[in-house]
Structure 1
């Protein structure tokens, strides 16, 4: 729908508001605006950026007068901040024979307004309820719906006037608060910014226009309205005309100029309908501004037409992006809802089944985690395998240090007893091996505890995922995991320490030992040991033989320990711990009347779930309405 389609469709009737838009266009206007109003009434604006027209202006710019002229009702007036909450003004044009109707909604309040004269009182009461009695402001929206034969089909959002200095009773940063509130609306790309500026000020210096330019650099979403043309200084009229013709500060949507009721008109009880007649007479009789009326740039009726055209076109342009927005938001909220699950049923039998399923799934997930069957919750075995590799590296490194430990002189002074040169004392060999094995015991226990902590953390993390929102169930699971971990770790430590006691009994199968020592001799003879070249042959031979025996037996022992410690961890900590946890969690089902306690949710989890369900429902309803409209 292009504005040009409807040029020449204007006609005016004295004594009532002119009906500018032709019937063909009016048939398209109302459904379009109704769609967005219905979406806003669903409450989806907190999730979606809906097309809107936001009205901003400095204090005393004539903003309220413009809205009064468009809506046909008196709005709150006075000095200082009058608009203290965003006001959504929904105007619906009805048949001439139908009666005026008004309705105001805010928070949980919804009230019908029987007379236009009551609107101002209801708005003030709403602002006092929301922002408190006084001069404070709030970001909470007040919705005012007006149905009348004398209003355009249009929805506007009126924002507080820009204040520079705090007055008595206002916080020092009131100006910053108002600017932040205004920016919240005008920054959205879906919002047309309606900037109201008096004719008798320098438009380039007005803060309202500057704020609009900050968020709309090229003026593509900004429409300027000049007010108070009767206060223009003599000789500056042509400057105003140039502004309206977009020759001073360029705005893609251009400008309009209007003359609304002033304070004297209000004092003289000039009605809004009479004010329209006076406005028309003013522009027709003005030597400079008359041409603006003929061109369609002046008067409230022409402004109403312009705003309606802009809003409808803006809505049509925004609908494809709106559909995409809705789809994304539904997906985001669905994902968030899945984290909370469906929640426990209210029926006793159903709650028992719900708890059974939850515990069964958890125990199955724990088993899959411990056996590596399901990697969705992390590869626990891979993490443990890294720990086992580190243990093997430690054994190998310790073996190298052990094998390179002896110098000939050290052996002579510390380890050679009554034996003649060339003999290896078995007691010395046994003692040295026992000393070395003893040094491995505490590192093995430490590795056991580290692995035990890794398993405990993995189990706790899985329980947190499984029992999100159920603090009692989660607490019991964590308590059991901790107790079982400690019990199994103690048992495993006892097994490991017993293993080291056995390792001090130097033993292996004869054939295995002879095969190993033969391999060691072959390996050592292939490489030159520089230490052996500087000592006497007899001592050298004895030390070499001892090292062969030590290295051969350490190789056997370290291989046993390299496998045995991981086996203890895998069996006692992982396998037995998992089975014990499964048994104890399933036993919870045997306790009578325990479901209510176990399935008690976090104090706000149900609220969050319900909010997400409601939000998804609203978004789906919005999706249906947008799809039907298209």
Structure 2
């Protein structure tokens, strides 16, 4: 089990640059109020003065402290001289001619043998990100200390809990500190080392209060009661140390901190620890063997090793799951573009292929929620467009007055014995023109559907314009399906004759009509001037039998011819749209894209990757690499190492 803490240290180093919070590594988090004795407790674990001291918040960034137990210098030198290689070379201290030293992550390959320099480096690095105004920063400082006097241990020292901002500190400094502390101790794999001074009321301890928020049962909380020597005369912390006041599952350990006088006079930590043991023997003889800094170090190392052992199965599972998730994310970003020319051709080819498959209904992924592609185009042709044409009345918007006016305009100065063909053509073209708007709307609907697949499509409405123009250019009265005008006229005459009792009434009305003034002219006897320009049929006048006959003949002919043209348009428009629009796009899409995009000046710009995507790919790749290394490190642990 001795290898477990170094293993976690290696894992911590693996995740330094990508964020250790994602993996939730086991670690000990030190929590306490300002002046609670946190720094003295940590320095007693190391056996050296190395932490900044002063008034107010001194620890303003998380300090991840890894303690690495090594052999004394003489033994290491013997090993090096005898074997030519250091058995601990993997820990990067082969050849170091010092008894103990420290290294920082941000100071690559620099070894600090002077612990005063370590203190100064912590202060300098703190000010680099947190400034000089006593503000705090969540960015950790990573310090590793190698010494034969320490036990393998990993701790995280956090800023002390404060109540009142001092100097240039922000007004919400208390909330900032508490938020930072909670972010670390909320990790379910962290052990909480709560430091509270014995000369204060432990029931109101801020450190214990925060610990209880995330660990209400105290299962992963260890209480350190500091400053036992500063309690009022006649009082002691025995009841607290026995666990009868504050219930925590991992235990309660009392320690005696160095006084400010000891620090000012640079009293050695070895001497302070001897004095601590002497104090415990005098005042707490029954607990002396289970108290003090040395016992605290052994307890922390033991607790951390057992905690790591318990967390390893879940840790391995989490690494495996995260590896699969990040591999999937990395695959989704694709590979960075190297050959721009080949990549663009590949993209264009695939895009054109997918586009055509969507129209043909052979796409790989078929939508089930709505019609799309070729299916929607088919629906537009046969449902939307077809129903619209069928709903158009051949004689809609065409009144008898319009028909009579057209007939008279076509006869000129002399009345015609038969319905003039010109009037029929004029009115037929007017009705046929009504087919143009729904035909163009059909093109628009298909075009909109094509745009849903691709945002590039030319306009082909001219072809449909031409279809209607062709019908308007020549009214084919010899069409095989068109009714014979003479037969229509005879049929109308026959029906009228039957209605007028053999035609007598029709003859009388004809005579009266021939004697009457021309329609639309005023009567001179009534004082109206003759208006030679007014040729319209009066609206209020009842049509004569002949006028009714002529109107009905024209109506029947228009209706017959309109149905012929409508049938042709209903058939021709979908064919035209398919040929000149849909099929044209399918056949020329790829060549058009290549012709427009395959230019040297555009290649770099078209395939440039957004900075966000490139950064996300890099971050995911780094995390995936870290997870792979972590998996290898965990796999090195044999089952026999856990016991």
Q: TM-score range by the shorter chain?
A: 0.7 to 0.9
Aligned to 2:492: none
Give the alignment partner of residue 497 of structure 1, picking from 426, 440, 465. 465
Judged with a 3 Å threshold, the aligned counterparts in structure 2 of structure 1 residues 601 and 28 are, in CA distance, closer, same or farther, namely closer
Residue 45 of structure 1: which of 1, 16, 20 is its match? 20
Q: Which one has a bigger Cα radius of gyration? A: 2
C-alpha displacement at 1:629, in angstroms? Answer: 2.1
- Counterpart CA distance in 2 for 1:331 and 1:545 is 81
Q: Distance in 1 between matches of 2:29 and 2:319?
A: 22
Residue 359 to residue 285, structure 1, CA distance change in 2 (3 Å): same
Higher helix share: 1
Instruction: Give 1:578-617 correspondences, 5 Å limit.
Output: 578-587=586-595, 596=604, 599-603=607-611, 605-617=613-625
Residue in 2 that maps onto 1:89 = 65
Aligned length in residues: 540
**1:139 partnered with 2:138:** yes
Cross-structure match for 1:105: 104
CA contact (8 A) 1:226 1:255 kept: yes
Q: Is the 8 A contact 1:395 1:558 kept in 2?
A: no
TM-score, length basis structure 2: 0.72
Matches within 5 A, 1:16-415: 27-41=2-16, 43=18, 45=20, 47-74=22-49, 75-96=51-72, 97=75, 99-107=98-106, 109=108, 111-234=110-233, 237=236, 240-286=237-283, 289-294=284-289, 296=290, 298-345=291-338, 352-376=341-365, 382-383=372-373, 385-386=375-376, 389=379, 392-393=383-384, 395-396=386-387, 399-400=390-391, 402=393, 415=403
Tell me if the contact between 1:81 and 1:160 (Cα under 8 Å) persists in the aligned partners: yes
**1:332-362 residue CA offsets vs partner (Å, 9 max, x unmatched):** 33333334322233xxxx5554454444444
CA contact (8 A) 2:159 2:177 kept: yes
Is contact 1:371–1:381 with CA below 8 Å preserved after alignment?
no
Matched with 1:476 is none
- The answer to whether the 8 A contact 1:33-1:153 is kept is no
Unaligned segments of structure 2, at least 5 residues: 77-97, 409-417, 484-545, 639-643
Tell me which moved more, 225-234 or 607-616.
Answer: 607-616
Q: Give the CA deviation at 1:44.
A: 5.2
Work out whether residues 358 and 373 of structure 2, in 8 Å CA contact, stay in contact via their aligned partners in 1. Answer: no
Query: Is 2:403–2:551's contact at 8 Å kept on the other side of the alignment?
Result: no
TM-score (norm 1): 0.73
Q: Secondary structure at the match of 1:226?
A: strand
SS at match of 1:285: helix
Determine the structure 2 residue equivalent to 1:6.
Answer: none
Q: CA deviation at 1:623?
A: 1.6
2 CA distance for matches of 1:557 and 1:318?
83
The answer to whether the 8 Å contact 1:356/1:589 transfers is no
3-state secondary structure, aligned to 1:620: helix
Query: 1:382, 1:571 → 2: CA distance?
Result: 19
- Seen in structure 2, the aligned counterparts of structure 1 residues 434 and 207 have a Cα distance that, compared at 3 Å, is farther
* Residue 91 of structure 1, CA deviation: 0.3
Other structure's SS at 1:382 match: coil
1:499–1:155 CA distance, 2 compared to 1 (3 A): same
Against the structure 1 CA distance between its residues 335 and 433, is the aligned structure 2 distance closer, same or farther, given a 3 Å change threshold? farther
Unaligned runs of 5+ in 1: 1-24, 461-480, 515-537
Q: How far 1:106 moved relative to its partner?
A: 4.5
